[in-house]
A and B are shown apart, each in its own frame.
Chain A
Amino acid sequence: MKSAVIVFPGSNREGDMVRALKLAGSDAQKVWHAETELPKGTDLVVLPGGFSYGDYLRCGAIAGRATVMDAVRAHAARGGLVLGVCNGFQILCEAGLLPGILMRNANLKFICHRQFLKVERNDTAFTKNYAKGQAIDVCVAHGEGNYTADAETLKRLEGDGLVAFRYSDAHGNVTADANRNGSMNSIAGIYSDKLNVLGMMPHPENLIEDLVGGTDGRGLFESLVSSFGKAA
């Protein structure tokens, strides 16, 4: 599998993302935001976390309109896989690739802690190595992760099974206490209609090695690689 990790001014998780992808067996390279095309043969585009453009105007607003995003939109329209994590999720929403928006956390605090997520479905390219309903242990670190959408969009996301992950306790119970940023329906991540674009606030790339406290994030990258096969 060939991955392109897009780097914007202010991205800061691209290194961890490339490392996680490579560890799972993907060829991964960084791509600067001013490029007009993706590297030939790109299977997966990743928008990493960080503070693109200093979060000016709205989180992800300026990056969502960067030159490279036209190529990312075309890749998604062809059915290509796109993953946005944290600021990457905000960028996907601002770019119109996913519905809704990430608002300021309900308690106004930047949250940074270990967080369990309930895997809503395991029949997508992103989650096939997890079990349906499994609680995975990852990290969150954001100030604007409060997923918000209008009632109609929310109904469609729920009805069409487009919620990817919800904030949960260690047993996969979706509780109010586990939803620390106030997201509607405890939504931590969503898919596009065709399930080829995933945006999520939590960081699976943080938990890929026992050395740093866990490996539950690996499943996501290994799922993606197993869809394509490892890089030669």
Chain B
Amino acid sequence: MKARVTVTLKNGVLDPQGKAIEGALKSLGVEGIDGVRQGKVFDIELGTADKTQAEAQLKAACEKLLANTVIENYRVEIV
């Protein structure tokens, strides 16, 4: 089974990297960008075929390591 975990900064947390990317897009003349927030994507291979078990394993992975829940949210998708 494959899964994708997306980790993003919580609302209100300053994201200087996103700001820099936003500035770079503007300087490249890409129009219509009102804001950029940078995050991370993890594509994960799981040994199990059981969706409930996979979700529990992915939640543990996010809580223990992939996201720092002080500043980040995570989203899990089985793909």
Interface residues in chain A, defined as those with a beta carbon under 8 Å from any beta carbon in chain B: 57-58, 61-62, 65, 94, 99-101, 103-108, 146, 148-150, 182
Binding site of A, secondary structure by majority: helix, strand, loop or mixed? loop
Whole-angstrom CA separation of A104 from B71 in the bound complex: 12
Interchain nearest-CB distance for B25 vs A (Å)? 15
Whole-angstrom CA separation of A148 from B15 in the bound complex: 11
B contacts with A, residue count (CB < 8 A): 11
20 additional A-B pairs beyond A101-B71, A182-B14, beta carbons within 8 Å, are A57-B66, A61-B65, A62-B65, A65-B65, A94-B68, A100-B70, A101-B68, A103-B13, A103-B16, A104-B16, A104-B17, A105-B16, A106-B16, A108-B16, A108-B17, A108-B20, A148-B13, A148-B14, A148-B71, A182-B16
A-B pairs, 5 with minimum CB distance: A104-B16, A108-B16, A101-B70, A108-B20, A101-B71
Interchain nearest-CB distance for B29 vs A (Å)? 22
Whole-angstrom CA separation of A61 from B63 in the bound complex: 12
Chain B's closest residue to A94 (CB) is B68
Whole-angstrom CA separation of A180 from B66 in the bound complex: 29
Interchain nearest-CB distance for B5 vs A (Å)? 12
Q: Are A106 and B71 in contact (CB under 8 A)?
A: no
